[in-house]
Structure formats: structure tokens, C-alpha cells
Structure 1
Amino acid sequence: MSMPPLASGPDGPTALRPLLDTVLDALTTGRRARGGPLPAGGPDTVTARITAALKTGIIPDHPDPDALRTLVHALAEGAADPADPLCAAHLHCPPLAVATAADLAASALNPSLDSWDQAPAASALEAEVTRALARLIGLTDALVTTGGTESNQLALLLARETHGSGVRLVCGTNAHHSLPRAAWLLGLPDPVVVPTPRGTLDPAALHHTLTTEPGPLLVAATAGTTDAGLIDPLPEIARLCTTHGARLHIDAAYGACLTFSDRHRHKLAGLEAAHTVTLDLHKLGWQPAAAGLLAVAAPHELTALHHHADYLNADDDTEAGLPDLLGRSLRTTRRPDILKIAVTLKTLGRTGLGTLVDQVCAHAHEFAGLVHRHPRHELYDRPVISTVLFRPAGAPDTAVADVRRRLLHEGRAVLGRARPDGRLWLKATFLNPHTRPHELAALLELTEGATPA
């Protein structure tokens, strides 16, 4: 058996070209075989197809030259495709082709951002892009993360290292689950959870908490809630934090990319007052996962992340001018996710990305209008970003849940679920800028047709 070729090096491009043709063909045939936004038949059917694709075993005794085509086809046939207009359940975007192409280069070259000698160009690129993104939202520097969960955990870690282990998280009931979980992981006191009766953090309730609870306190606000895409009143929250000497973190994993849009940027007023901000470009930035960041206002706080490992950042190497990368993440081996982000930012520019943001927000408003005018559907509220909550009017929660599961089982549509007011709502999150008006109408029609009589 000959040695398998490598993806990089002098022969890498030659070796990759026919493999890319195989992958693209398998993606095409797999999508056609699926025939919709996700495979029909539910978990058992999908598992049976994967089992069939692995019929010779996942680690066979002898090589299988057709494994790439077979498994990529199986993955595509069994995928929930975020590029399908009827796949609208989650903050799971269809990635841009240019970002995906850049990610291929990152995979082929395989830099690891734990030492400069493994990633010379990637480390320089990351330094430039992270600072530019931080400045865009009014902060100073940023770290690349795997997404909102890691960013939120880092934000709490920096608060603990700055203010001590007694710092207490204050967040709304609308906060992402990763925030109280991070407090638990970091050994912080139990969070103070403030009610959010209208889906956003109530300034009066927050004022009471900041007045009565002993410090130090870390307030976590949200710009783009997971359930409904709502934005807390950031300017009022920022003023309260300043008045009471509380630290402010804003989880803008969903909403931060509104900054690209001239039309929607005003919704993020107050973001620049935060000590730390979470943002994800694999939500409203059309990047392949993962593409998260944590922006910081005070870069000196990042010294808390410094770690010494002689084989990676020896003192004499650092003194000689080799950048020390270990303080830029809690991870060691770390792929260059910044490349796809940089390529996207430079290719589309702020206005190009802003146009995409405007488009998906417009889709949400159009869909909300369809729901509002429909006599047999109920709209939760007008969308703030690109999420719409709706339900069949008068239906019990069991029927609403059944609608969603039947559409999933039939492979016809992917919708999420949320309980913002104690009732179960269907959730449509629009992240595909190519969605057309008739597809919005078709999505609503499917939920009507699936509703029990």
C-alpha cells in the first residue's frame, strides 16, 4: 500500500483537487437524496443509514478507497441543512462559501495557535482582526473562542481574577444557561437571578438587587436572547452598573453583528459601556462553526490568563521578540478560526455584512406580518432581530409540540421551541439571506397543515 498523501506541502494541492471533486459530488447527491431541510423518518431511520454506510466497520481490516464519498454522502443525506429556507430552528447559520473555502486552507495548513513557531502568519492575523472587531463594538481587544459558552465562562473568569472569588453573578431569567453554569464551574457564589417578566432585564428590579446585595457584583445583560432574540435595555443597565460600581458583561453572541448594519446598529447602544462582550460570528456572521470571541475593555486584565510552558513560551524566546500566545486562550492546541473571519470581513466589508443582517431581519418582519394576518395563528411579538415566535391559535401545548415533531419526522421543516410566557411557542430563526417570500409563506402553511383539527 502506498503512503496516503498529505493536504499541505508541495504535493498537497494536487492531492486535494480530486478529493474535493469527490466531496462536492457527494454533497450534491446527498442533498438530493435527502430532498428537504432534514432527513425524513426520525432518529431510527438516520441511524440505520449511517449503519449501512459503515457496513464494513468503522475500522475495517483493509482500506476502503470509497470511504470519503460514502461517508460524506451519508452525512449530507442525513443533515439538517441550515441553507434550506425551511430549516429555521436555531442560531445555526448557513456559512458563506468564501468563509468555507478559507476554512479549507486553515485545515490544510493546520496551524496551531499555542506558539508562534506553529502559526506565524495566523498569530499576526489574529492580533489584527481581534482588535479591529473589538474596536467595532467600542472595546479594545478580543480573544477567539469556540462560541458563547466559552466566551461567557472567560468573562466570569476575568471578573473573578479582577475582583476576587467572592464576585457574584447577577443575571436575568432570560440569560443563557452557560452563565450560571460558568459561575458553578468557577466556584463563584450562587447567582442572583432577576425576574424578566417581559423577556428582558427589568431596570427597576436590577436597581433593587444592586442596592440590596453586597458586592462585588457582575451584571450579565443579554443582547439577543436565545428564545426570542430580545435585547435588554443596555443603556439603563450600564448606567445602573456605573452608579453602583458593578461590573458589566453583555452576552451579545446573537446580537453583536447588528453592529455591521446602519439600520439596526442603534439597538446595541450601551454595548461600549461593558467590561466584556460575547460575540459569535457563527450565528449572525455566516461563519462555519466555531467563530466566537470575547471582547474586553481593559486588555491588562488578560494577564490573568498568562501561563508558562517552557516548550511553548520560554522566557528567552519571549524576550527575543517571539509572541507569547498561551495567554490568548484557555486552550492549548487551537485552530486558526480567525482566517475565515478575516476573509469574510475583507471580502464583504462592513456594508456587505450589514446588508445580510438587514436581509434576515427583514425576513423575520415579513414572516411576523404573515403570522399576524393569519386568522389561525398567534404571534408572540414583533421581532427585534431575526427570531419570530408563533403558535396555532388556541392550540394546547401538546398540539404545538406535536406540530414541531411531526414536521421533523417528515423532514419537511425544522422549527425550534420556546416558553417565554409559560406557553409553548414555535420558534423560527431566520439566518438565510437568500430566503424568498414564497418560502416564508410555505413555512407558515406547513405549520397550519400539520396542526391537528
Structure 2
Amino acid sequence: MDYDETLVDCGAGPHWPLASTVRDRGRGPLPAGLPAEVLRRTTEMLGEARVPSTGVGESAALDLIAGLLDNHGIDLSHPHAAAHLQPPVLQVAVDADALASASNASMDTYDSGPATLAIEQWVVRALARLAGFGPEADGVLTPGGSISNLLAVLIARDSAAAKVGIDVRRHGIDGLDRPMVFCSELAHFSVQRACAALGLGEDAAVTIASDSDFRMRLDVLEAELARPGRTPIAVVATAGTTDYGSIDPIAGIASLAHQHGAWLHVDAAYGFGALFSDRLAPLLAELPVADSVTLDLHKIGWQPAATSMLLVADRNRFASFGRSVDYLNPADDIDSGLDGLLGRSLQTTRRPDAVKVATTLTAYGRTGLGAMLDTCHELAHAAAARVVADSNLELLAPVTLTTVLFRVAGEELAAAELDAVQGEVRRRLLTSGRVLIGRTKVPARNGRPAAVALKLTLLNPNATATDVEELLDQVVATGHDVLAGRAA
């Protein structure tokens, strides 16, 4: 594949106040050393694995743990940390998260935290509006995108059962004829996990082939939905695949899903943040046709993990979660306005994660968050341009959001050996502590075999094009060493 990338000028730009647990910027994003050695040193500093009979005091304990994080932890604010959808976090979000922890509020009932209930509902309404949903929309914060996807499939299952008169909550899914969930072959593995957790079995997740642009193929989906003897309960579109940032054709998928009476869920854990950017928001113009959406602000949003949310277009779809519990929310208290958000979640005690989100949205607004994303998007294009210009490297996919897939070149090597080179390059960089990059596998496309790829996930808005150049210089140098060692 040949991709023509134009180098984007990514100057230093504004400095965003990102938090870091690491004070020594002389080190890289990871501690140097083999994993077993790093973990051994860390454990030894903690001492014998038992609860001590006598504590050392608050200051000493904090100093101990801070030292472990400083010396043996990860520094996501380092400009050479670019492996996963795991960004550095904004200092204001960390400070707000401390306020939330200090309150120890819970979201289940009014008397467990009234202010935080209002804050979460404000955040839900604000992000539902950003998604293009109407006034009937609702949502809930969850511990992560996997749980948001689980809730979406659960709602879809219950909705499908209700259509044929089955009360799943009381009687299970026995009356549903082979319930199935359809998703792209590139969808997040949490879809299969959700099917397993809900008693459908992982085989209930039918994977649909993707096209040359890594988007779900509508013709294959149409054929699979039409196969007899199955009940399509949901179709999961992906808006921002983990490896490519690609966005499925949401409107076309919605049309097919609804023709077959299936729920349309959009997993936008990665891609939802595009809505903060005027430049990238058109990529999600079709999002309002979804029945539900997953979003993760601990990806594009720069929030401490975990900060996920499930949005639904119709709040009544949460009905099957409803509970009236004598010690929490008896019916007369609900009628008096003392209810909370117990009926939105599988959790009872649930921490007020919306506090950090509301603080960040208020502090930076859509414009500020959009500027951070635009910087990261430009860095990804700059990285791709460098890869294209360097004969030592090879670009494997175009840039959509902030990920760059490439590999160390080696045309004289067999495919399996070249794949092994990529793994060795990444491991050497990780154990050096200097560079943190990811890896994945690009599926076969256009007559080209599947290939192991190196991956940059660029989510640090304070990184610069120079930082990316230096990172790739180290990849090239390490690649030379690995290739030379194999040739010797």
C-alpha cells in the first residue's frame, strides 16, 4: 500500500497542564530493565506481602508509593509514550478526581450524594447533545468501554425479548431463537465478552468482514442479517477502531439493523472525542441514528481512568435496570424525588466520576479539547509523513484519528521473519525504557498477506513533531541493530 502523506507543521503550540507521577524527566516513559527485574525491584521495596502489624505513618507511606511510581512506573506525559489509547491526564481532572474521592459520594440514591447526581446528569445531557441526540436521551458513566458495551448489548437483548413477550429479567432468554450480535472483524473484543457474560455465548457474536479502508462491509452484513433461523438483537458499529481509527458506515449499518429489528450500538470509545474538533467532527456526522453509543473520555478527553459512558437515544430503554430496594430507594421515597441513578447501572455503589468530567468541560470547553485533539491528529500525520519519507520504514495504513501503523522495512526477509523483527524492535525499545510504542497485526488486504505492525498512538498534546522524529530515529536505529544481528 502506498500512502501519500503531507507533512504537517506541528510547532510547540500551547502547553497543556498535564499531570505526571514521574519527577525525573531524565528517564524515558518506562523504567529500564527486563520486566521480571523491574517487578522484582518494585516488590522488594514494598517488603514481605503481608499487612504490617504497625504502620510507618502517612508521610512515610506516601513517600514510599510515590518513589515506586517515580522509579518503576509509567510516565504517560513523556513525549515518547505512544503505545496505547492511554493518554496523559489533565492536572485539573486529577484535582477534581481528588475532590470526588474525598466526598466518597455514590450515585445510587439522592442521599448518597445530591450534588454529584446533578453533576452526572449535566454531563450526560451535555455529551448527548454533542452526539446529536434529542431531549429523550439519557446515559450513565461506567468503569470502562467494555462495561458500556456490555450494558448496550444487555439493553438490546432485553429489548428484543420484550418484542416477543419475554421477561428476560425473570425467565431468561430461552424464548429467543438463537439471538445474535453482529460486529466488524475489527470491533473491540469486549463485544464477544459481552455475549459470553450475558449467556449468549461468544459464538453469538458474528463478525463481518471489513473493506480496504478497514470499515465494515455493508454487503456482508446484509447477507448475514438475512440468514434464517437467527434473531438479530444488535449490530455494533465501530467509530474509531483501536488500531486504525477507522469509522464504520454508521447510517448504512443503521438502515440494515433497523430493517431486521435489531438495536444499533456504536462503539465510539475512541472516536467520540472527534466531536470536540471542528476538523474531525464530520467523521461522526451519522452518529445520531444510533440507539446507543459508548464513549471513553479516558482516551480522547484526557481524563484519569476510568471515565466511560453509555448514551441511549431513549431513556426508557433503561427500564429493565429499574429496582426499588427497601433500604435504598423504596417506592414512596422515589415518588418524593429521593431517587438516584441505581436504575441506570449494574453497580450499586458507584463513584462520582462525572466530577472530573464536568470540571474539565467547564475549564476547557469544546474549543480547548478540540485544539488538543487537532494537535495530536497533526502529529499523527507528521509521523506518517516521516515514515513515508524514510526507506527504513514502511507505512501500513492511512491516518484517520491519531494512530499510525508502520513497520521496520526489510524486503529481503520472509514474511514470518520480518514479523519477528517488529516484535524484537518493540521489546528492545520497551526494555530500554526510552520509547513506548505498541504493536498489532494488520489483516491481509489487496493481495498482501497479514503483517505484524508497530503502532504509534499519539495522544499527548504537548508532544511536538521533533519529539516524533526523535522517537522514530530510535525505532530506525533499533531496527538496524536487530536486522544486523539476524544477518550476522
Read off the aligned partner of 2:338 and give its amino acid letter. Answer: L
Q: Which residue of 1 aligns with 2:223?
A: 208
- Match of residue 182, structure 1, among 191, 194, 208: 194
Partner AA of 1:202 in structure 2: R
* C-alpha contact (below 8 Å) 1:34/1:76 kept by paired residues: no
Among 56, 60, 71, the alignment partner of 1:77 is 71
Q: Does residue 433 in structure 1 map to residue 461 in structure 2?
A: yes
Q: How does 1:200-349 map to 2 (within 5 A)?
A: 200-213=215-228, 214-349=230-365
CA contact (8 A) 2:181 2:232 kept: no
Note the residue ranges of structure 2 that are not aligned, 5 or more in a row.
1-19, 162-172, 444-449
Deviations 1:397-424 (A, max 9, x none): 1111000001111101111111122210
Structure 1 position 44, deviation (Å): 2.2
* C-alpha distance in structure 2 between counterparts of 1:173 and 1:76, whole Å: 39
Matched, 1:151 2:148: yes
| Larger displacement relative to structure 2 (50-59 or 327-336) | 50-59
Say if 1:77 and 1:272 are closer, same or farther in 2 by CA, change over 3 A: same
- Cα distance in structure 2, aligned partners of 1:57 and 1:275: 48
Match of 2:35 among 39, 43, 47: 43
Range moving further from structure 2, 188-197 or 282-291: 188-197
Deviates more, 1:204-213 or 1:403-412: 204-213
Equivalent residue in structure 2 for 1:390, among 391, 394, 406: 406
* Cα distance, 1:82 vs structure 2: 1.4
Given the two structures, how large is their TM-score scaled by the length of structure 1? Answer: 0.91
Residue of 133, 141, 146 corresponding to 2:127: 133
Distance 1:71 1:390 in 2: 37
Structure 1 match to 2:15: none
1:67 maps onto 2:61 in alignment: yes
Aligned amino acid, residue 147 of structure 1 = G
Assess if the C-alpha contact under 8 Å between 2:117 and 2:340 holds in 1.
no
Which digits, 9 at most, give the CA deviation of each residue in 1:150-186, with x for residues without a partner?
0000000000111124331011110100001101111
1:56 Cα deviation after fit: 6.5
Indicate conservation of the 8 Å contact 1:234/1:269, yes or no.
no
Match for 2:304: what amino acid? P
Q: Is the 8 A contact 2:438 2:456 kept in 1?
A: yes
- Residue 161 of structure 1 aligns to a residue in which SS? helix
**Higher RCO (C-alpha under 8 Å, 6+ residues apart):** 2
Change (3 A) 1:365 1:245: same
Do the aligned partners of residues 57 and 160 (structure 1) sit closer, same or farther apart at CA in structure 2, a change above 3 Å counting?
Answer: closer
Within 1, Cα distance between the matches of 2:123 and 2:46? 41
Aligned residues: 426
Q: What is the alpha-carbon distance in structure 2 between the residues aligned to residue 63 and residue 180 of structure 1?
A: 44
Is 2:111 aligned against 1:117? yes
Residue 415 of structure 1: SS of its match in structure 2?
strand
Q: Distance in 1 between matches of 2:194 and 2:464?
A: 40
- After superposition, give the CA deviation of every residue in 1:2-46 in whole Å (9 maximum; x if it has no partner): xxxxxxxxxxxxxxxxxxxxxxxxx77x53187111000022222
TM-superposed deviation, 1:244: 3.8
State the distance in 1 between where 2:437 and 2:78 align: 12
SS at match of 1:313: coil
- Per-residue deviation, 1:113: 1.5
Distance 2:123 2:47 in 1: 45
CA distance in 2, matches of 1:379, 1:264: 22
Match of 1:424 in 2: 452
Alignment match, 1:399: 421
Structure 1 residue 57: deviation in Å?
5.7
CA shift at 1:197, angstroms?
Answer: 4.6
Gaps of 5+ in 1: 1-26
Provide the rounded CA distance (Å) in 1 between the counterparts of 2:338 and 2:141. 20
Q: SS at 2:141's partner residue?
A: strand
- State the Cα deviation string for residues 350-403 of structure 1 (Å, max 9, x = none): 111111111111111111111011111000122100000010112611111000
How far residue 78 of structure 1 moved from its aligned partner, in angstroms, is: 1.3
The answer to whether the 8 A contact 1:200-1:233 is kept is: yes
How far apart are the structure 2 equivalents of 1:341 and 1:33?
A: 28
Scaled by the length of structure 2, the TM-score of the pair is: 0.84
Aligned mates of 2:258, 2:233 — CA distance in 1? 12
Q: Which residue of 2 aligns with 1:173?
A: 185
Give, in whole Å, the separation in 2 of the partners of 1:269 and 1:85: 31
